[in-house]
With several copies, the nearest count.
Chain A
Amino acid sequence: MKPFSRAEMAARVARDIPEGWYVNLGIGIPTMVADHVPAEREVILHSENGILGMGPAPPPGKVDPWLVNAGKQPVTLRPGGSFFHHADSFAMIRGGHLDLCVLGAFEVAENGDIANWATSENDTAPAVGGAMDLAAGAKRLWVVMEHTTKDGRPKLVEKCSYPLTALGAVSRVYTNLGVFDVVKGRGFVVVDMAPGVTFEALQERSGAKLHLPG
């Protein structure tokens, strides 16, 4: 079994993003997706803090302090980019203008529920940021995450045990072991598997029933 590396997961997501889409990439592996979109394919990146047309990190010594992404890292702007304020930025998100949002998650349920912001109901000071807006607002929500937690618990589940971020929002999940569509009324459908991974091995590491396509 040869699980996808983080870079391979990001590349796998990037492969599925067509030219012309407006895309918001969350913190972590999702951010790495940008590096895997070929330069000639125009995908327009959105950042919650009021940027469209975000480009890669600047070379050292060329950092513009006025230009950071949602993770507060320095970025650049591509020709054709634009700036706007937070209410306009979330109007784009909530109004369904983003073709895609890619987020990390603690858990995804077979009905598309996502939990990615708080680890318990008692964790009353978690950091939600823009996750709920993005999950509820984008036309499509894809999740990129490890297939299981560090201690081996499945993250694809029948029902989320962590506090929810949004109901029924996820349409696709990329893990280090495979790619899954979340199909209404059916659940997780295996679209792709990492090299050497069998359906049985995948099912064993998942907390919900997996389906084969068709």
Chain B
Amino acid sequence: MINKIVRTMAEAMAGIKDGSTVLIGGFGAVGQPDALIEGLIEQGAKDLVCVANNAGTGRTGLARLMELGRVRKIICSFPRSAGSVVFEELYRAGRIELEIVPQGTLAERMRAAGAGIPAFYTPTGVGTLLAQGKEVREIDGRLYVLERALKGDVALIEAWEGDRWGNLTYRESGRNFNPVMAMAAELTIAQVMHLRELGEINPDHVVTPGIFVDRVIRVDRGPEWA
């Protein structure tokens, strides 16, 4: 019997190696896999490349992982925001690498990785600093930049419901990067608010089919998210 549901955070985090590229879902706090990030802090992997929309805020979660010196590089669209104090300290001190990627290119590069597309052309960023050093090509009279797929070793995502085959649904704007990252990583770990019996999720409503998911762990974020 296939059973992707794990009961402990240690099982959820098993095998994440030093040097991994870790995709972290969420947009701000919404759809952000807080418990899995805490699990990763506990687990100990270091020299990580983290891919997320933001570079962490405050001193917990991703910011804490960075503060512990475990993140070698961050790939994101919006590093500097209210409360991104840890990132800014590390960045000024030259202790963390940064790759800024336009938000849509970031999403599409991961979708491409998941879909077996190694590279694609996009109009985003043409003529800007973020296209420097990249191939630019004219197609049908317009200029495009060649962007490469961005694959993760691990994806940490949050979903609303999950079952033992790894099927997932999301809630409202909690969907954001999560389904895209689920496709793009070798090992996809989902924290879900609700476990469902197999077949309980309407097959027309599944957003991330289980083929993209390796482990599911139930994490109740509390009544305000219920």
Residues on A facing B (Cβ under 8 Å):
19-20, 22, 40, 42, 44, 46-53, 64-68, 72, 77-87, 89-98, 118, 121, 124-133, 136-137, 163-167
Q: Are B104 and A66 in contact (CB under 8 A)?
A: no
CB-based contact A67/B173 at 8 Å: yes
Q: Can you name 28 A-B residue pairings with CB atoms under 8 Å?
A: A19-B1, A49-B176, A50-B173, A52-B209, A52-B210, A65-B225, A72-B28, A80-B165, A80-B198, A82-B206, A84-B209, A85-B175, A86-B104, A86-B107, A86-B177, A94-B104, A94-B108, A94-B124, A95-B183, A124-B98, A126-B80, A127-B77, A127-B79, A127-B81, A129-B77, A130-B102, A136-B123, A164-B128
Q: How many residues of B contact A (CB 8 A)?
A: 70
Interface hit among B6-14, B35-43, B65-73, B113-121 = B113-121
How far is A48 from B124 in the complex, measured between Cα atoms in Å? 15
Closest chain B residue to A99 by CB distance? B211
Q: Are A65 and B210 in contact (CB under 8 A)?
A: no
Pairwise interchain contact B103-A125, C-beta atoms closer than 8 A: no
A148 to B198, CA, bound (A): 44
Cβ of B210 and Cβ of A82 under 8 Å apart? yes
When distances are taken between beta carbons in the complex, the residues of chain A under 8 Å from B211 are 22, 44, 46, 52, 92, 97-98
Bound complex: CA of A124 vs CA of B94, how far in Å? 12
Q: Please name the residue on chain B nearest to A20 by beta carbon.
A: B2
Q: Does B60 interact with chain A (Cβ within 8 Å)? A: no
